[in-house]
Chains A and B, each alone.
Chain A
């Protein structure tokens, strides 16, 4: 009963949202862009920002004259953090609203829920969040980081610069942390770390009582070897986690925490004074100093009319993805899905960290990897970055199931899981 009530509420809200945005440009001939981000429920905290970022990008593009001589029109729906509803809303966007491309999803489970819809109705999804890999789909472009563009370089950094020998892999209990930790565990063991020097810990979503786990980490760290925490803790649970770390006096100099899901947006809800020195690995930080990023931040603050709003990595991923899509549509001269899919591979656009990102045949992009330390003002300071760009590796080389798989969506291979050992398309995964 309660679920029905929630779904009804969400439908109502979504219906209101769609009509409001549909009304705006109904008169002229437009190219429609779908935005599939939760505006209510648990994930609203992260996804609402991405919706705003997309609206801003579309707005800016319309000021520059739109695309193919037409105005762009945003169609916003609210899947309300409800995974099956993501699939329904995606179907609605593609078959009712006839959008040319969809930008959306945050959690892996929401992405998995919409995959069959995009495949069946043959449309395009841009997915902007760092994820666990082990997937490559014809209709999806992954503009967030694959594990080798975030997790592995972060662990390398800790091993080389902080001489860490003992590892705590702490995560929220769902698919992204579990898969990432599996990859990291295999990687660490391949680097000669003993299994007893790895502690893996999972907590439920929204976990708020971290006392036991933080004191376990402290205990694990007092074995005379340099210890670090690799955190795939997601969303709201981070704030109480960091508060507990600070209160129990765990300093970054002693046990650094490197996080893959903590960005500027998450830090905005925290007093970062006691957290200075803890780390995060991303492909973009707001503090990256270059003209393109400065311009982006200025536009964003003006668009949200809030001088305190921060930018973050998934926003940059949408920035890259949107610009790639624009370029591909211009190259193809049409918004027809198959033509755009063909045109996308090889497209190269400037990213906000001062370089270019290119769409690879596996539908992942090239990115630099940055390691940043939390500063007292809630920003990150880059302390290390990869010398060049890193190509997203969809099938991890460190898992036995996927090390022989590659993806290449160019003709004639056109396969998301080609097994180089057997020479056949098809294997584990989608």
Chain B
């Protein structure tokens, strides 16, 4: 009953207060906003606090612009404006009414400087102001920011918001924020104890951070509770950490799989030691860059589709390059692995330097489409979207390739040629054509891998070098000539690496993996899944 009354009261106060206060506060508010223009970085938080104290929702866009670096002051008269960029000019709008007041060249205005502590102050102020906003997303963000820095004086605001809130997700956040605020307030110990319980139940990493901070300042009677809560959260976190490691391992494995799967065709199936494989990945990544460049300048609306457009293009470009390499060089060197190794190494150097000469030695910017940015929480796991998509993509490519090899006439011919070339030839298969197409297929798949890898690695001429060793490692470990071996090899190496890394560190972890593979190859020279039968001897 009390809650409902409170809600009604707050709503009433807000409804009646805002319009009249707005009218009356217009002038002092403008002074406060203009004061931001002359404020120093060191006393900016006081100005922000003064603005926030007004409680007027009109200042929300001002604070947002300040945090985003879109608040400028006019050099001539010290007036502050919200701005939007338009070429070399800035479109100005009035900070309080939001009305457009024309354009001005950038040189006539000065950006109001912000740093991290100003951004934190803005975030906190905005959190307090937008907790009652009708927009769910805005409220959610507000709740998150309140949780970042809740102080005892924010407690009434949080409780008001909590009373009005219906959305379960936001409520949970607000409950945590309230608990955090209570811990630093002078509320009775009983309430504090309850707050500790609330935080303990959330089990999140933030709760861990809040509780360990509170441990230092808490009263003696409360300390055992906090310590117990900390221990319990740490325990759940450790459990989740194991799951998180498996996820990281799968994700690293999918990258290895993508890098190696093309090689599984050229090296695994055809037996060509192709040192230029990494450069095919690199060319795929540069194709993505070019596609994004064209999309950015000509069709900005299609940006989220740029990767889908780049995929077939990368396949065609690198497939064509692969075809040219096979027809131009490799076909003269079949059966001479050492010469093939040297020749493909040379090709890889040529390709690298060619890309360096055309695009320059520096990294090229390849953006993440919106559906590949950010992360979401799954229980205690943090799952980043780009990694999730890459895992799915790697598995799709794998399945597609398996289908191609096992179920299509072309795949049948490929397998026939690699298993017994002379017999296949006498059955009427044009082996040179099949060789060329197989190599082109392997290269094309490497190019598609490049599209995916451009999302997590940097697009530079050296991109391929980082993957060539790993790719060979995966193919040899999994068993030459066996696609399933490549799949299992990639994922097991990925997971092994990620379980070693927290204990041994990234450098030692990598060395240990290499040592283990060497030992493994001593025991099983043909890898995990060795091909059996006559094909092996051929």
Q: Measuring CB to CB, which residues of chain A are less than 8 angstroms from any residue of chain B?
A: 1-2, 5-6, 9, 13, 39-42, 44-45, 48-49, 161-162, 173, 201-204, 206-209, 211-213, 215-216, 218-219, 221-225, 236, 238-240, 243-244, 246-249, 252-254, 256, 265-266, 268-271, 274, 276-277, 373, 375-376, 381, 383
Contacts and interface: CB of A to CB of B under 8 A. Distances in A.
Interface stretch (B73-81, B111-119, B416-424): B111-119
A212 B456 contact: no
Given A224-B210, A248-B382, A270-B363, A277 B345 contact: no
B208 A222 contact: yes
A376 B349 CA distance: 35
A225 B213 contact: yes
Interface in B480-513: 498, 501-502, 505-507, 510
A312 to B, nearest CB: 11
A383 B255 contact: no
Contacts of A247: 373-375, 384-387
A407 to B, nearest CB: 33
- Chain B interface extent, by class: 35 or more
A382 to B, nearest CB: 9
Given A212-B245, A248-B375, A269-B364, 8 more contacts: A6-B345, A204-B507, A239-B457, A240-B458, A249-B375, A253-B123, A277-B119, A381-B113
B255 A209 contact: yes
Interface in B199-224: 205-206, 208-216
Interface of B: 41, 69, 113, 115-117, 119-120, 123, 148, 205-206, 208-216, 237, 244-245, 248, 251-252, 255, 275, 338, 341-342, 345-346, 349, 352-353, 356, 360-365, 367-368, 373-375, 382, 384-387, 456-462, 465-466, 498, 501-502, 505-507, 510
B505 A201 contact: yes
13 contacts: A1-B341, A44-B462, A45-B460, A206-B466, A212-B501, A215-B244, A236-B458, A240-B456, A243-B456, A249-B375, A253-B119, A268-B362, A269-B362
A209 B116 contact: no
A224 B216 contact: yes
A269 B506 contact: no
Q: Chain A CB within 10 Å — which of B120, B216, B362, B364 has the most?
A: B362
A210 to B, nearest CB: 9
A162 B117 contact: yes
A224 B116 contact: no
Contact of B502 (A5, A13, A42, A212): A212
Nearest to B510: A204
Nearest to A270: B365
Given A45-B361, A373-B115, A269 B460 contact: yes
Given A224-B211, A376-B69, A211 B248 contact: yes
A383 B42 CA distance: 11
Nearest to B248: A211
A249 B115 CA distance: 18
A364 to B, nearest CB: 28
B329 to A, nearest CB: 15
A253 B205 CA distance: 17
B248 A268 contact: no
Q: Chain B CB within 10 Å — which of A9, A44, A223, A276 has the most?
A: A44
A17 B100 CA distance: 57
Contacts of B501: 212-213
B248 A224 contact: no
B457 A208 contact: yes
Q: Chain B CB within 10 Å — which of A173, A202, A243, A256 has the most?
A: A243
Nearest to A223: B212
Nearest to A202: B507
Nearest to B210: A224
Contact of B460 (A40, A219, A236): A236
B214 A224 contact: yes
Nearest to B382: A248
Nearest 7 pairs between A and B by C-beta? A269-B363, A224-B213, A239-B458, A224-B212, A222-B209, A247-B384, A48-B361
A2 B273 CA distance: 13
A49 B373 CA distance: 31
A271 B368 contact: yes
A253 B120 contact: yes
A212 B494 CA distance: 12
B214 A203 contact: no
Contacts of B255: 208-209
Given A203-B507, A222-B209, A249 B365 contact: no
Given A44-B356, A219-B205, A276-B69, A256 B212 contact: no
A206 B507 CA distance: 11
Nearest to B497: A209
Contacts of A206: 462, 465-466
A371 to B, nearest CB: 9
A45 B356 CA distance: 9
Contacts of A209: 248, 251-252, 255
Contacts of B206: 222
B457 A1 contact: no
A211 B252 contact: yes
A95 B298 CA distance: 54
B365 A256 contact: no
A68 to B, nearest CB: 34
B356 to A, nearest CB: 6
A211 B458 contact: no
Given A222-B209, A268-B362, A277-B115, A248 B384 contact: yes
Contacts of B364: 269
Contact of A277 (B116, B363, B373, B458): B116
B363 A266 contact: yes
A42 B462 contact: yes
Q: Chain A CB within 10 Å — which of B208, B215, B244, B457 has the most?
A: B457
A219 B346 CA distance: 45
B375 A9 contact: no
Q: Chain A CB within 10 Å — which of B115, B148, B212, B215 has the most?
A: B115
Given A202-B507, A213-B506, A277-B115, A40 B123 contact: no
Given A276-B69, A375-B69, A249 B374 contact: yes
A117 B56 CA distance: 70
A218 B205 contact: yes
Contacts of A373: 115-116
Given A208-B457, A271-B367, A271-B368, A6 B349 contact: yes
A109 to B, nearest CB: 16
Contacts of A225: 213
B342 A5 contact: yes
Nearest to A249: B375
Given A222-B206, A239-B363, A277-B115, A5 B346 contact: yes
B113 A44 contact: no
A213 B510 CA distance: 14
B359 to A, nearest CB: 11
Nearest to B466: A206
A142 to B, nearest CB: 24
Contacts of B120: 253
B136 to A, nearest CB: 20
Contacts of B338: 1
